[in-house]
Structures are given as structure tokens and as C-alpha cells.
């Protein structure tokens, strides 16, 4: 076993020919050996955690890194830019009209819901308090490390705040940072400085972090810290980035990877009352079906541009995936001429293409039918 590696591979992770020792630190019955492996591609850095057993050194864990020891997570200029961007007076946007949200209900302890068919009571866990002394908060997948570090555009008052996570049947449904005890009268997207209020997740977690302390970490340390929190993050954990104050909280993200919206609760006096990440577990999707005349060229349907390309042997239908879930071609009498679910799909970037092989053109009066997302509501 190699600890964090913990997997089997057809290719060996280590090669004595290309791996060289760069540092050895011995502390009593424990030691750390750092190495670098130069081979094809970028160099890889390893840290061997050793333990002395019966007078001999044994490997207890091997950690792997892409950055050499001491490399800052971000450079000083980028850190300064990130920390200077948030403001207290950033205007707050409006929630999309096609969303029917009831965010407070996500934290109604004892409320019985059935997202997994069996009725279960909602439970709210108090994870503890975290301090954001800088007022610059980042909400992110902690596993991304230095990628997409953009903080929330709205700066919060420096202080210490409680963190809660709501769960149903052991699945996290929402994460909340309580900024005050005032009741929320309005809700708004909590946009980052890049304009998006969606938290992208690829490592199954979402974290609240004081960005001023995060950018002081070196890359290897942040990577190891993420791994340690991952082992204890169900339903969540609070921790210290630098060993000074508890300034981070991390939870497992609902069903796992995806994109999760972040919202501000605003009190009657205009102050921020809470920050919530919705893991979209207690939601019911809504869809609408719309039609337009079938014709070669670009067809606009309910705000979506779909291009129909006619060629020998049929048609190719192209669209930017967006919120389109299903497409069909209907004859003048309503008969289904083509069902996109039965066609192959080609994806390049966000361009989706499906080819309908047909020896005869679609008859005059045929329709393009689209089923598109129309938002969702909380249940």
C-alpha cells in the first residue's frame, strides 16, 4: 500500500533509474524522504513517510505532487489581484425567473422528504465556526487547488461564523454559512469575481475558505491538507489552513461532481444574513416541449439556436447543448419521423451533432420538436 496513491496501475509509479532523492528529514522514529522523478513529460515529486519498526525503516505512506516543495500555491501578484477584487458594495443580481426556490426549507430540521423514494427526516449538522479575518471568501472544490481561485465578489464583514450542513439519509443537500441571526427577506446569486455563482465540482466536495490564508499556502501543503480533510469530510469538517485559526470548512457535495449554485440571504436592513450552496438534491426538474417548422438552416426555438444541415442521405442537427434534453422530427400528421434518442451523438466542445439518415426529405409541414429545461423547484 502506498497511502494516497492506493491504486493498481499497469505502469509503475516509481523508477529507480529516473527517481532521485532530494532531501531526508529524520525525527525520532519517523522520517521523511523527498524525491523527484524526471522522465518523459513533467517531473513528479514524491514524499515518503517512513516509520521505524523493529529497528528498520518501513514506508507508511507515499504522497505524490506536481509541484516541488516550497512552491507557492499562487504567486504574489496573482494573490494581490484576487484579494483586491471583492468589495462590500457589489450589486447583487436576481434569481432566474424559471427557478422556484425555497432555500430556507433546505434547513428545516425534522422536515420529512423523500428524494430517494423512502421518506426521511432532514437533519442539520453544526460543523463548527470558521473565521474569515480578511472578509474575502472563496467557495470552491478544494481539490482544484490553484485552479479557478476567483473569490466571491461581495466581501463579507471580517468575523467568525457558524457553518451548517443539511442532510437527508446521509446525503448532504445544502451547506450554509450563517453571517447573522437576521431573517432573510430576499435571496440573490452569490457571484464570484468572474460573474458565475455556480461552484464547479470535480473532487466531490465544496469548501468555504478564507482566501487570504489559502494563498499563503504552498502547493504541496494545500494538496496534502485536502487529502486529510477528504478522509473526514462526511458530512463535513472544519480545519485550519495555516495552523493559526479555524478558517476552512469542507463537505461532501450531494451526489458528487457537478455544478452547484451559491446564494446570498439578505436581511431587511440590506446586510448579508447567510451564504448557502444548494447541492440540488431536493429539486424537481421542469421541462417544456416546443416546436418550430422543420427547414434547413438555423432555427430559433424558445431561445435556442438549432442548425439543420441537409445533405445526401439525410440531415445533421447541431446545437450548443445548453438546456436541450431531447429533439425529434415530426411529420405534418404528428407522426414521429426521427427520435434523437435513437441516433448517435458527436460532441466537440459544447457543440452537439446528431445525424438522421433518411433516403427521402422531410415532407413539407414537418416540425422540429425540442424538449428543453425550464428550471426547477425545491421539494
Element (H, E) at 321: none
Structure confidence at residue 302 (pLDDT): 78
Decide if 293 contacts 283 (C-beta within 8 A): no
Do residues 85 and 56 both lie within one domain?
A: no
Query: Which residue in 141, 134, 153, 163 sits closest to 239, CA to CA?
Result: 163
Q: Where are the alpha helices (DSSP H) in 143-268?
A: 211-214, 219-230
Do residues 96 and 158 both lie within one domain?
A: yes
Q: Write out the residue range of the structural domain in which residue 91 sits.
A: 76-281
Structure confidence at residue 9 (pLDDT): 54
What is the distance of C-alpha 274 from the center of its chain? 20
Half-sphere exposure of 169 (CA within 13 A, CB side): 12
Structure confidence at residue 10 (pLDDT): 59
Cell of 41: 513529460
Do residues 349 and 367 both lie within one domain?
A: yes
Tens digit of pLDDT at every position of the chain (379 positions): 344 445 555 566 777 777 888 778 788 888 888 888 887 777 888 878 888 888 888 988 787 777 788 888 999 999 999 999 999 999 999 999 989 999 999 999 999 999 998 999 999 999 999 999 999 999 999 998 878 899 999 999 999 999 999 999 999 999 999 999 999 999 999 999 999 999 999 999 999 999 999 999 998 889 889 988 988 767 999 999 999 999 999 999 999 999 999 999 999 999 999 999 999 999 999 999 999 999 999 998 878 899 999 999 999 999 986 678 899 999 999 999 999 999 999 988 778 999 999 999 999 999 999 999 889 999 9
Do residues 301 and 369 both lie within one domain?
A: yes
Domain of 37: which CATH number? 3.10.450.630
Q: Count the neighbouring beta carbons within 10 Å of the beta carbon of residue 16.
A: 8
Do residues 113 and 33 both lie within one domain?
A: no
Do residues 94 and 171 both lie within one domain?
A: yes
Among residues 39, 69, 99, the one where a domain terminates is 69
CA distance 356 to 346: 12
Strands 324-330 and 336-339: antiparallel
CA distance 379 to 24: 56
Do residues 365 and 345 both lie within one domain?
A: yes
Decide if 137 contacts 210 (C-beta within 8 A): yes
CA distance 34 to 167: 41
CA distance 30 to 27: 5
Do residues 242 and 349 both lie within one domain?
A: no
Amino acid at each position: 500500500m502506498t497511502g494516497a496513491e492506493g491504486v493498481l496501475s499497469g505502469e509503475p509509479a516509481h523508477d529507480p533509474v529516473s527517481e532521485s532523492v532530494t532531501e531526508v528529514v529524520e525525527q525520532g522514529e519517523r522520517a521523511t524522504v523527498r524525491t523527484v522523478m524526471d522522465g518523459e513529460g513533467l517531473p513528479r515529486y514524491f514524499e515518503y513517510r517512513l516509520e521505524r519498526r523493529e529497528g528498520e525503516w518501513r514506508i507508511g505512506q507515499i504522497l505524490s505532487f506536481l509541484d516541488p516543495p516550497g512552491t507557492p500555491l499562487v504567486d504574489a501578484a496573482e494573490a494581490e489581484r484576487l484579494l483586491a477584487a471583492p468589495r462590500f458594495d457589489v450589486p447583487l443580481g436576481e434569481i432566474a425567473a424559471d427557478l422556484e426556490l425555497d432555500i430556507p426549507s433546505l434547513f428545516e430540521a425534522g422536515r420529512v422528504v423523500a428524494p430517494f423514494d423512502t421518506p426521511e427526516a432532514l437533519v442539520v449538522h453544526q460543523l463548527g465556526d470558521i473565521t474569515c479575518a480578511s472578509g474575502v471568501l472563496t467557495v470552491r472544490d478544494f481539490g482544484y487547488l490553484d485552479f479557478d481561485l476567483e473569490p466571491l465578489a461581495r466581501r463579507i464583514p471580517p468575523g467568525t461564523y457558524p457553518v451548517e450542513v443539511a442532510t437527508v439519509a446521509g446525503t448532504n443537500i445544502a451547506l450554509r454559512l450563517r453571517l447573522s441571526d437576521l431573517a432573510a427577506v430576499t435571496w440573490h446569486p452569490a457571484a464570484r469575481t468572474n460573474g458565475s455563482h455556480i461552484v464547479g465540482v470535480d473532487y466531490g466536495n465544496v469548501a468555504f475558505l478564507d482566501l487570504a490564508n489559502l494563498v499563503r499556502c504552498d502547493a504541496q501543503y494545500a494538496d496534502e491538507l485536502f487529502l486529510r480533510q477528504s478522509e473526514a469530510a462526511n458530512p463535513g469538517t472544519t480545519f485550519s489552513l495555516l495552523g493559526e485559526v479555524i478558517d476552512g470548512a469542507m463537505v461532501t457535495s450531494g451526489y458528487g461532481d457537478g455544478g452547484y449554485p451559491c446564494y446570498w440571504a439578505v436581511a431587511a436592513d440590506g446586510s448579508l444574513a447567510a451564504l448557502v450552496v444548494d447541492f440540488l438534491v431536493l429539486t424537481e426538474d421542469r421541462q417544456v416541449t416546443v416546436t418550430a417548422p422543420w427547414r434547413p438552416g438555423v432555427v430559433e426555438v424558445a431561445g435556442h439556436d438549432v442548425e439543420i444541415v441537409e445533405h445526401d442521405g439525410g440531415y445533421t442537427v447541431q446545437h450548443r447543448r445548453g438546456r436541450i434534453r431531447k429533439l425529434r422530427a415530426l411529420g405534418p400528421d404528428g407522426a414521429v419521423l426521427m427520435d434523437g434518442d435513437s441516433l448517435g451523438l458527436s460532441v466537440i466542445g459544447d457543440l452537439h451533432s446528431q445525424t438522421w439518415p433518411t433516403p427521402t426529405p422531410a415532407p413539407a409541414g414537418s416540425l422540429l420538436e425540442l424538449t428543453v429545461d425550464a428550471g426547477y423547484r425545491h421539494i
